[in-house]
Amino acid sequence: MEGQRKGIQSLAREAALLPQEALKKTAARGKELVIGIPKEDSLQEKRVALVPEAVALLVARGHQVLVETGAGSEAHYTDSDYSESGARIVYDRRQVFQAGLVVKVEPPSLEEVELLNNRSILISALQWSVQQEGLLEALMAKRITAIAWDFIQNDNGIFPLVRAMGEIAGNTSMLIAGELLSGPFGRGTMLGGVSGVRPSEVVIIGAGTVAEFATRAALGLGATVKLFDNSPHRLIRLQNAIGQRLWTSTIQPSVLQEALRTADVAIGALRGNGPRSPLIVSEPMVSGMRKGSVVVDVTIDRGGCFETSRVTSHERPSFIEMDVIHYCVPNIPSRVSRTASKALSNIFAPLLIELGDDGGVESAARQNRLARSGIYLFNGVVTHEGIAREAGLPFKDLDLLLAAL
């Protein structure tokens, strides 16, 4: 018996000396999130981060959702819609911002940052080029982990939320142009064409997502389209995406001026690499356009492509300059706030579910590419090199911060 026991001990010692597989550290699973949805206080913002259908999905997964009263009113959702979906309606704004995870459409104001709890999580747009001074420092002081939805990138290199808003802006810009073109100050013509009548001419400056969907909408209505961009590659990509031959040109002032002279509608959709959109169309070019023609400057949030553009509002969206109607409202997707809110929710809801399933933002930052791509602050430390360089702040690699936890 004694010999048998010694033999077993010997085998155990030998087994201990054999190479063993290292156990992988696993993250906590199924973390319950407390999500706050505040009412957007920007005058131009009518969207809401989560629609009631998305709230119901999150509540069914065991998460709590606090919705500030009136948060969905501009998108035509009532407090009853949210409460019936399982959300708790909150009448104290501070209570919403003290949730562990706050989801907004617009970047927070300094006043809203003051309401956030230390070490909480914020998901919102960043819009670095028009960022409020001191906002980044205020978030750092509270050691916030911040995810910018306009930075979120999927495995195919596509920015899904930015693309969704670009689709809406492109389609809506053509609907707006058609309304203004046929209105009392327009040319009294239909955007498009009918048999035996010359179709409307549309000039689109840019070849990105906004331009692509503006082109689709214009062609669908029967208009002729002329596309301009600085990059031949982008023009080829857009033409391939549309699936037919289009009139295209690189931006040459004389060619552009001639195209604008006969155009009924001009769409400004060219965004530069810097904080300001390149100024493409000069005052003399605009003065050469037909009386009653329409300019929709989608890039007005970055200064605009037209020299005659100036920022307007959803309440007073258009003005006439040099006998040309100008529509220069920033954030065109807010005009169709319900559609835009649904598009945002379609991406926010799965992201929030994944954050909960992964065990929180720390675990998600390790294994969730979608969430990781949007993180620019982690516990108050800047983890986006470009932002750190622009702001003159220290930068730390996210992987190094995670390794130290």
Domain boundary among 311, 328, 345: 328
Residue 310 lies in a domain: yes
Nearest in space to 373 (alpha carbons), one of 398, 345, 394: 398
Q: What is the CATH number of the domain that holds 70?
A: 3.40.50.720
- 6-20, 106-120, 381-395 — most confident range: 106-120
For residue 16, the model assigns a pLDDT of 45
Q: Let me know whether 203 and 249 are in one domain.
A: yes
Q: Please say if the pLDDT value at position 245 is more than 60.
A: yes
- By residue range, what is the domain housing residue 242? 166-328
Domain boundary among 270, 305, 328: 328
Q: Let me know whether 172 and 121 are in one domain.
A: no
Residues 100-148 pLDDT 10s: 999 999 999 999 999 999 999 999 998 766 667 888 999 999 999 999 9
Q: Let me know whether 120 and 230 are in one domain.
A: no
Q: Please say if the pLDDT value at position 393 is more than 80.
A: yes
Q: Let me know whether 288 and 308 are in one domain.
A: yes
Q: Let me know whether 50 and 119 are in one domain.
A: yes
Residue 7 lies in a domain: no
Residue 234 — very low, low, confident or very high, per pLDDT cuts 50/70/90?
very high
Q: Return d(Cα 98, Cα 11) in angstroms, integer.
A: 57
Query: How many residues in the chain?
Result: 405
Q: Let me know whether 197 and 324 are in one domain.
A: yes
In b/e form, how buried is each residue of 252-269, taking b as 16+ CB within 10 angstroms?
eeeebeebbeebbbbbbb
Q: What is the mean pLDDT of residues 243-264?
A: 95
Q: Let me know whether 77 and 182 are in one domain.
A: no
Single-letter residue type at 364 = A
Residue 213 lies in a domain: yes
Nearest in space to 57 (alpha carbons), one of 323, 340, 320, 353: 353
The Cβ of residue 168 has, within 10 Å, a number of other Cβ atoms equal to 21
Q: Let me know whether 323 and 246 are in one domain.
A: yes
Our count of domains for the chain comes to: 2
- Residue 205's beta-bridge partner residues? 228, 268
For residue 128, the model assigns a pLDDT of 67
Residue 158 lies in a domain: no
Residue 29 lies in a domain: no
Residue 251 lies in a domain: yes
Q: Let me know whether 211 and 317 are in one domain.
A: yes
Residue 2 lies in a domain: no
Q: Let me know whether 306 and 342 are in one domain.
A: no
Q: Let me know whether 122 and 269 are in one domain.
A: no
Cβ contact 299:270 at 8 Å: yes
Mean pLDDT of the chain, nearest integer: 89
Could you tell me which residue, 277 or 84, shows the higher pLDDT?
84
Nearest in space to 333 (alpha carbons), one of 160, 77, 205, 162: 162
Please give the model's pTM, rounded to 2 decimal places.
0.85
Residue 54 lies in a domain: yes
Domain boundary among 280, 310, 328: 328
Place of tokens 């201990």: 16
The Cβ of residue 106 has, within 10 Å, a number of other Cβ atoms equal to 19
For residue 28, the model assigns a pLDDT of 47
Q: Please say if the pLDDT value at position 216 is more than 80.
A: yes
Please give the full DSSP string across 364-389, using - where no structure is assigned: HHHH-HHHHHHEEEETTEE--HHHHH
Q: Let me know whether 212 and 316 are in one domain.
A: yes
